[in-house]
Amino acid sequence: MKTLRGLLLGTGAVILSAAAAQAADLPLKAKAVEYVKVCSLYGTGFYYIPGTDTCIKLGGYLRAETALWTNSNYGGAYSGQAGADNRLSNRYQTRSRQDLNIDTRTATEYGVVRTYFETVLNWTSGSYGGTGAGATSYTGDAISGGIVGVYYAFIQFAGFTMGKAVSTFDAPWTNYPGNNFDGLVGGSGSNNGVNQFTYTADFGQGITAAISLEDQTQFFTTNIWNTSGITAAGVLGGNYGSSAFGGTVAPDIIGMVRVDQAWGLFQASFAAHDNHAAYYGAAETSGHPSDKWGWAAQLALSIKNIPTGPGDVVNLQAVYTDGASRYNFQSLANTTYSMYGSTGVAGAYQSIGFAGVGDAVFGTGTGLSTVQTWGMRGAFTHNWDPRWNTALYGAYAQVKYGQTGSALVCAGIAATGMLTAGSTCNPDFNLGQIGLITRWTPVKGLTFSADVTYSHLGQKFSGTAIAPAVTSTAKPAATYQLKDQDTVSMLLRAQRNF
């Protein structure tokens, strides 16, 4: 018994000694946990990244939408199968989108260093892709597939913006004076961001000015056409020749002055755009036209605190371009139009309105002839109460090819023999749009909207044309009346912001 008692006491002493040795190795006090702290320096939603002096904000939205009477979620039935207005035209199209953004700010002795990144993940229902009678298909995102896009990715430091951001030329509302239909003409719009190197100076009292170098190819180039390549089928699609871009040799140069006040804002923008064409023929020995610089000027005005109600606002802008048409027909607007409709002309199968937007045209052995445009757009937004608001919006744009440009285009069209005797050739045109959008926000961050847009294509061709068959839209070879065209589209949307 004494032996057993001795063994137990000895074992206990060993265990206590080992525990004491381990306890001696442990810190006397645990380190403080790095909790996420609110950063109030840059507005709501920012938090300090633990262990750093950098503030971060996460945000985004989820959107589900259906477009009616169009093959596109951001445009009207202006061309292709949508413009054909037949059994190959989509009567609806759906899209789901998730947007995610990351905003970081760090205070330094040189000012705030900011980075911003925004990405979108889209899934869009298929559009009809016609390849001729008996060979049809749908195109678009596959099951469990989709498209990933980068909207913005830029750094801001000491007045400089470097990366993919909204163009300095754009009005603050980009394409959306009334938070409306994507495809409005009448002004610029790089709402998906454009690569740039920009310096912005702040003079105080709400006055800023900026100078910017921006990539021209993504959003600021429409078409440079070699009219020697005109075909009847191309003209029907709104193409006045073969595409004749050369390589990019110069960014667009943009200047902007802006005044922000309690009553609203005023902004004036100017852009210079280099038109750099390819060769006259297939080989470099065929020669080429010299470069020709185009330009654009835009004024924008926003008026707040108007007597119709709290939060109501009027946004207006006007633009003129010469050899830089994309600053009028913005990035989500069509640059070619081919719209079919009814006819009352005996012997004509249907009517058609076609038109094309170019920066410049040329023929073999000629120089570049730039295209002039002007346009305007605006909206009035009224808040009925904190949950309901409506915006009435409109836009207008006019395109003129000038005497030289029109002669080049019409000579090419005449060579095809498509216009009948007595018909008039004139590539000039105008596009008018008017729309109404109403939004309901039953709870904070969740909005339902309905947006209806009417568009009128006023083309300047008259008479009739003998057109070849267009297999992609099932249009037969026939005689067509040259006539203005109209279309209506609608967008239904549900969006949750966070």
CA distance 457 to 339: 9
pLDDT for 132 equals: 57
Average pLDDT, the chain: 91
Confidence band, pLDDT 50/70/90 cuts, at residue 8: very low
Mean pLDDT for 80-105 is 94
Mean pLDDT for 37-58 is 95
Task: Determine contact, residues 187/319, Cβ cutoff 8 Å.
Answer: yes
Mean pLDDT for 313-334 is 97
Mean pLDDT for 70-87 is 91
CA distance 381 to 264: 14
Residues present in the chain in total: 498
Strand partners for 208: 202, 258
Q: What is the pLDDT of residues 372-428, one digit of tens each?
A: 999 999 999 999 999 999 999 999 999 999 999 999 999 999 999 999 999 999 999
CA distance 85 to 473: 9
The identity of residue 81, as a single letter, is: Q
Task: Determine contact, residues 471/133, Cβ cutoff 8 Å.
Answer: yes
Global model pTM greater than 0.85: yes
Confidence band, pLDDT 50/70/90 cuts, at residue 73: confident
Mean pLDDT for 211-220 is 95
Does the structure show a pLDDT above 80 at 334?
Answer: yes
Mean pLDDT for 344-352 is 97
Does the structure show a pLDDT above 60 at 14?
Answer: no
CA distances from 121 to 145, 181, 334, 336, 400 (A): 10, 20, 23, 27, 39
Nearest C-alpha neighbor of 94 from the set 60, 140, 136: 140
Backbone φ and ψ for 223, nearest 5 degrees, come out as -145, 140
Residue scoring higher pLDDT (20 or 143):
143
In the chain, what are the helix, strand and coil shares in percent, each to the nearest 5?
15, 50, 40
3-state secondary structure of 333: coil
Confidence band, pLDDT 50/70/90 cuts, at residue 74: confident
3-state secondary structure of 206: coil
Strand partners for 211: 199, 255
Does the structure show a pLDDT above 60 at 13?
Answer: no
Does the structure show a pLDDT above 80 at 363?
Answer: yes
Q: Which tokens belong to 229?
A: 């390549």
Q: What is the pLDDT of residues 118-140, one digit of tens each?
A: 999 999 887 766 665 666 667 66
CA distances from 497 to 225, 415, 427 (A): 43, 55, 44
CA distance 227 to 246: 16
DSSP state letters, 128-191: E---STT---EESPPTT--EEEEEEEEEEETTEEEEEE--TTS-TTTT-TTS--TT--SB---T
Nearest C-alpha neighbor of 91 from the set 124, 66, 123, 64: 66
Confidence band, pLDDT 50/70/90 cuts, at residue 31: low
CA distance 203 to 399: 37
Mean pLDDT for 352-373 is 98
CA distance 275 to 288: 12
Q: What is the pLDDT of residues 300-312, one digit of tens each?
A: 999 998 999 999 9
pLDDT for 218 equals: 87
CA distance 262 to 312: 13
Mean pLDDT for 335-346 is 97
pLDDT for 71 equals: 87
424 DSSP assignment: B
CA distance 78 to 200: 38
pLDDT for 35 equals: 74
CA quadruple 344, 349, 355, 360: dihedral, nearest 10:
-130
pLDDT for 143 equals: 58
364 DSSP assignment: T
Task: Determine contact, residues 80/61, Cβ cutoff 8 Å.
Answer: no
3-state secondary structure of 338: strand
Confidence band, pLDDT 50/70/90 cuts, at residue 147: confident
Mean pLDDT for 36-54 is 94
CA distances from 323 to 81, 277, 355, 369 (A): 29, 12, 17, 8
CA distance 498 to 98: 11
pLDDT for 264 equals: 97
Nearest C-alpha neighbor of 106 from the set 48, 165, 37: 48
pLDDT for 145 equals: 65
CA distance 484 to 339: 9
CA distance 200 to 255: 10
CB atoms within 10 A of CB 216: 24
Q: What is the pLDDT of residues 188-203, one digit of tens each?
A: 999 899 999 999 999 9
